[in-house]
Amino acid sequence: MMNKFIIKDDVIPDVDALVALYHDAEWSAYTQNPQELKKAIDHSLKVWTVWDKEKLIALARVVGDGVSIVYIQDILVLKNYQAQGIGSTLLKHILEKYHSVRQIVLLTEDSEETVSFYTKNGLVKVSEYDCVAFMK
């Protein structure tokens, strides 16, 4: 199914397309300040976008130094395009590109659906490393 969509490296969509994608994901903290969202995307270490012709349907981005740590900041897929392997494909791209990085970190909601998605794609809860995560 992914073969009918195009993945682009480091192609930053316009603000309207970004806001539409983040709005669809209900990530309102991002959509309240569109220019700040665009700046955050622009300053990411790496960005992948997925397109259905001219329509932005998914985005993944990482931040970090690309050597000792990368942080998977966002993986979003429009609701109407979910369950087609797009998110898994984006995550695979991230893990392949940064396979030699010591730490790949992700912070996300603790829902059954989200945990299932990331564990089926090879990620492990931080608690299994006898670690704890902190945030402010």
How confident is the model at residue 4, as a pLDDT?
Answer: 87
pLDDT number for residue 108: 87
Residue 1 has pLDDT above 70, yes or no: no
pLDDT tens-place string over residues 88-134:
999 999 999 999 999 999 988 888 988 898 999 988 888 888 888 88
Parse the chain into domains and list their residue ranges: 2-107
Give the pLDDT score at 2: 61
Q: What pLDDT is recorded for position 81?
A: 95
For 11-60, the pLDDT digits (tens) are: 899 999 999 999 999 888 888 999 999 999 999 999 999 999 999 999 99
Domain 2-107 grouped into CATH 3.40.630.30: yes
Q: What is the pTM of this model?
A: 0.88
* pLDDT higher than threshold 80 for residue 3: no
pLDDT for residue 72: 95
Closest CA to 12 of 62, 46, 53: 46
Q: What is the DSSP string of the chain?
A: -GGGSEEEES-PPPHHHHHHHHHHTT-HHHHT-HHHHHHHHHTSSEEEEEEETTEEEEEEEEEE-SSSEEEEEEEEE-GGG-SSSHHHHHHHHHHHHTTT-SEEEE-----HHHHHHHHHTT---GGGGT------
Give percent above pLDDT 90 in the chain.
68
Question: Which pLDDT does position 26 carry in this prediction?
Answer: 87
